[in-house]
Amino acid sequence: MSSSTVTEARRLGHFIDGEQHAAAGAVFERHSPATGELVAAVAAGTAADVDAAVAAARAAFDHGPWPRTTAPERAKVLRRFAALIEQHGEELAALDSEEVGKPLRLARGDIAGAVANTEYAASLAHTLHGESWTDYDADVVAYTLHAPAGVAALVIPWNFPALIVAQKLPFALAAGCAAVVKPSEFTSSSALRLAELATEAGVPAGAVNVVTGVGADVGAPLSAHPDVDVVSFTGSTVTGRAVAEAAGRNLKRVSLELGGKGANVVFADADLDEVADAVVFAAFFNQGECCVAGTRLIVERSAQDALLERVLERGRRVVVGDPREDATDVGPLIHAGHLDKVEGYMQEAKRAGAEALLGGGRASVAGCERGHFVEPTIFGGVDPASALFQEEVFGPVLAVTPFDDAEEAAALANGTAYGLANSLWTSDVATAHRVAKQIRSGTVWVNTTIDGTSAIAFGGTKASGFGREVGREGLLEFTELKSVQVRTARRGLALTQDAPAPSAA
């Protein structure tokens, strides 16, 4: 068992204007999804708390130093922020592991990603420049610039708490924005700790604020707040629609990274051993609670039996267990209600005629009898019209469906409302490029899955949202393009016919 654990219950308030505010009044109790133990009591925020946080951010942006700080200085602060995240990596990983239920060794990977994102955002601060025009008119110099958008509301889901904060906050700060972060009520600890570390790194008071609580009481008023200029939301498609509607009433910019129903599309000429490893990883990583999870295996019919043999052999070796144990591959689901939902999808799949090739029910773990565990599950013969094929289960459940040609493969990959990320496996270069163009998703991985770097923009299409995170595009989400036109000689503008003729000078 790893020694990096957090067991003492925490009482958490908001972080507003550079200070932690002790929880007062109602709290949301967070219990470990593995053991049922109380691990945190989180302040149940209200619209008044949102108002206070937005006011602090508004003052920091309108009158504070951060938007007026030079790009090199912002980059220096963000590099210090990245170094502090790395320095406190074990603490942050333990917080996320305990509250999410993800294996601690995988939570460490999330923190490494948060460090990388913050370092890359620091480098991007130097790249905020526009274009110039000097020769379309002899007496005009014109240019564009990317101005900070203002106050950014950052709404964070529960599955990758620290990592997704770091997909948004460092980029907003690099652009010169002030931010209000709303973490999930289930996983608030790491966001609050990151706000403290940002302040320690030199981000001025008010430029980073965190308000905890449930969506109806905090997320909704934050999204609709008239003093918020841009909203960046990651979460379900249902909630994303509500966020977009609330933000639209004030005509503020919105970026939405929503649900997914990713597929691994496998042609018979692919390396089936490598594919099998990737399929099991993509389906069961983070308990399947991952928007880019490969929850559909769309495989060429002639290779289906050979690939399934390999996938099932690897799937049987996946260890469901206590997330604190180094040997654990899959931990508990986030809460009991979500466990019921995932189990409901499995029961419906059986009623619809799909064959449970592996798992198919709840799992028990010694020492974690109150945990919300489910077996890694694989269903064969899944009908493309079924709920298991069409809907985001958000659990470790894989649906297998065969295809006969490339056109059918692309149609099946595109055959859901979602368009976030899909994977394509083939040894034929022509097939790879042709089918990748046909698949409608923000990301298409070829001969890899759940891959990428801080430099490559990420986001979805269709019901998976719009806008981009990370990469230069992720930085530009937090800017407004401004055009400046400077005339160096008199133009001689006149409305009336008897006005003096413009001077030749």
C-beta contacts of 34-39 below 8 A and 24+ residues apart:
34/101, 34/322, 34/323, 34/324, 34/331, 34/332, 34/365, 34/368, 34/371, 35/322, 35/367, 35/368, 35/370, 35/371, 36/370, 36/371, 37/7, 38/9, 39/6, 39/7, 39/9, 39/10, 39/98, 39/99
Residue 152 is classified by DSSP as E
Among 2, 26, 1, which residue's Cα sits nearest to residue 14? Answer: 26
Active site residue 368: no
The residue from 119, 257, 392, 469 that is catalytic is 257
Residue with tokens 């006005």: 499
CB-count exposure of residue 214 (10 Å: 0-12, 13-18, 19+): middle
CA angle at residue 359 from 356 to 364, to 5 degrees?
155
- What would the two tokens of residue 359 be? 């798992």
User: What is 155-182 written as a DSSP string?
Assistant: E--SSSHHHHHHHHHHHHHHHT-EEEEE
Dihedral of CA atoms 166, 171, 174, 179 in degrees, nearest 10, equals: -80
d(CA 399, CA 422): 14
Q: Residue length, the chain?
A: 505
What are the angstrom distances between the C-alpha of 114 and each of 111, 225, 288? 5, 28, 20
d(CA 285, CA 395): 9
The residue from 291, 343, 392, 477 that is catalytic is 291
CB-count exposure of residue 90 (10 Å: 0-12, 13-18, 19+): middle
| Catalytically active residues, by annotation | 257, 291
